[in-house]
Structure 1
């Protein structure tokens, strides 16, 4: 629990807007839920979300300590209220997720919050299988990645040992990756082997195959 005292410069603000401003990692929907559940109190009592704060009011916030941190790339998963994942398989060590096209796996210059790894970390955090405050260094991580515009299977490790084992198997080529593609027209011959190289256009975030 944290307590905040309202000063004269903060007086007159709505309760929900004041808390949202001070806890930017707290999802708006979760904030409204906490106010309804009276986990946000004003002078020891539950309050309405649109109540106007007065100088000298004492806010009592029964909210996890993580949400009081400053936003950083490694904690932005907290701002995801409802993780959206298509889980194909899950056990105590790993997740297999079917990534939809258009979703980036890690943060880049165009997207910081809505990434596959953030949705996975938010999912595990909300299941209480993982908490960053209980770990010194490890966070659930992806073992492989695929491009934004590609859909397909991505492996996520829930613990450090699984991440180490899967990374070793990928380096040793013990896991195979296959792609399905759509062609314009019918290839001739219909079957065979094509050899070439991939070239990525960084500006368009597209990869093309060249012979």
Structure 2
């Protein structure tokens, strides 16, 4: 028999999900064990979808070989990585980090361990705020992602409660993420909400935009406002009303105004002319606009945070009001 006392970071989730994260147990196994009364919560039989709370006691009447904990991340996997990050905002619950161009948020097929999440873990580890050996199922996590060659704000949660709240807020659009970008040519009208349909090709890691709905594509809505025009290109502020893969890049290219520097959807001739090797795109501004209870993050309601202005804004002079 194994006894587990639920910690704060493990609380609030379903017991089956907690067990599947902590031990090499599949969903089917957990359901079967629950039916056989091999899993007890505070001394009572429980269902797999029962939510656990801090200080709850879980007792598992399961053979030891089934309870060998899942391998945890070796601290050296991230402590060997630099802990230098550009912090936009930090408190006891969250981190807002300004990601540079060229860095991936999570490890990809290249196998490079110098990722944004590893730098955040390293930073918190060296601060003494994160000790993986003390956690069964939680590790600091990112709440949003941006492409390797997009810069700007990425949200990280320091604890499980904040992660659950932020994921809900993002899903229900109680957070607004605004982007700055350079679109080739003169974008007209000065502001609009564009609607189209996007289909992803996983094999090529590209998307296709269409003006017709099919069974295989998804609706996208992209709201933009022209901030400046320098006679050749337009500086836009963009609000993603839907958040799909490569949405800004592909949607603006579809209407004839690809992002400057975009190698996938853009104009290579123009990219070379202006010397842009990466898409001129920045996740610049984050607004918290809660309409439902935010629990431990309620103090963030109404707050707005901005990354440093990206270098590409300089193309439009020094008096641009962002």
TM-score (norm: length of structure 1) = 0.59
Are 1:116 and 2:116 an aligned pair? yes
Whether the aligned pair in 1 keeps the contact of 2:105 and 2:116 (CA below 8 Å) is: yes
The CA distance in 1 between the partners of 2:107 and 2:101, in whole Å, is 15
5 Å-filtered alignment, 1:35-184, equals 76-80=77-81, 82-184=82-184
**Cα displacement string for residues 35-82 of structure 1 (whole angstroms, at most 9, x for unaligned residues):** xxxxxxxxxxxxxxxxxxxxxxxxxxxxxxxxxxx99688621221x3
> Measured at CA, do residues 199 and 186 of structure 1 come closer, stay the same or move farther in structure 2, by a change above 3 Å?
farther
> Measured at CA, do residues 151 and 200 of structure 1 come closer, stay the same or move farther in structure 2, by a change above 3 Å?
farther
Whether the aligned pair in 1 keeps the contact of 2:104 and 2:116 (CA below 8 Å) is: yes
The Cα of 1:198 is off from its aligned counterpart by 4.9
Q: Which residue of 2 aligns with 1:20?
A: none
The Cα of 1:140 is off from its aligned counterpart by 0.5
Aligned residues: 141
Whether the aligned pair in 2 keeps the contact of 1:73 and 1:112 (CA below 8 Å) is: no
Whether the aligned pair in 2 keeps the contact of 1:88 and 1:98 (CA below 8 Å) is: yes
The CA distance in 2 between the partners of 1:72 and 1:128, in whole Å, is 16
> Measured at CA, do residues 170 and 191 of structure 1 come closer, stay the same or move farther in structure 2, by a change above 3 Å?
closer
Aligned-CA RMSD value = 2.6
Unaligned 5+ segments in structure 2 are: 1-70, 207-245, 256-322
**Cα displacement string for residues 97-118 of structure 1 (whole angstroms, at most 9, x for unaligned residues):** 1111221111110243111000
Q: Which residue of 1 aligns with 2:195?
A: 195
Provide the secondary structure at the position in 2 that maps to 1:97.
strand
> Measured at CA, do residues 205 and 127 of structure 1 come closer, stay the same or move farther in structure 2, by a change above 3 Å?
farther
Whether the aligned pair in 1 keeps the contact of 2:73 and 2:132 (CA below 8 Å) is: no
The CA distance in 1 between the partners of 2:203 and 2:183, in whole Å, is 23
The CA distance in 1 between the partners of 2:163 and 2:109, in whole Å, is 26
The Cα of 1:161 is off from its aligned counterpart by 0.8
The CA distance in 2 between the partners of 1:175 and 1:143, in whole Å, is 11
The CA distance in 2 between the partners of 1:71 and 1:112, in whole Å, is 19
Q: Which moved more, 1:132-141 or 1:199-208?
A: 199-208
Q: Which residue of 1 aligns with 2:308?
A: none
The Cα of 1:131 is off from its aligned counterpart by 0.8
The Cα of 1:201 is off from its aligned counterpart by 6.8
Provide the secondary structure at the position in 1 that maps to 2:195.
coil
Provide the secondary structure at the position in 1 that maps to 2:182.
coil
TM-score (norm: length of structure 2) = 0.40
The Cα of 1:146 is off from its aligned counterpart by 1.1
Provide the secondary structure at the position in 1 that maps to 2:191.
coil
Unaligned 5+ segments in structure 1 are: 1-69
**Cα displacement string for residues 143-178 of structure 1 (whole angstroms, at most 9, x for unaligned residues):** 111111111111111111111111111122111122
The Cα of 1:191 is off from its aligned counterpart by 3.0
The Cα of 1:96 is off from its aligned counterpart by 0.6
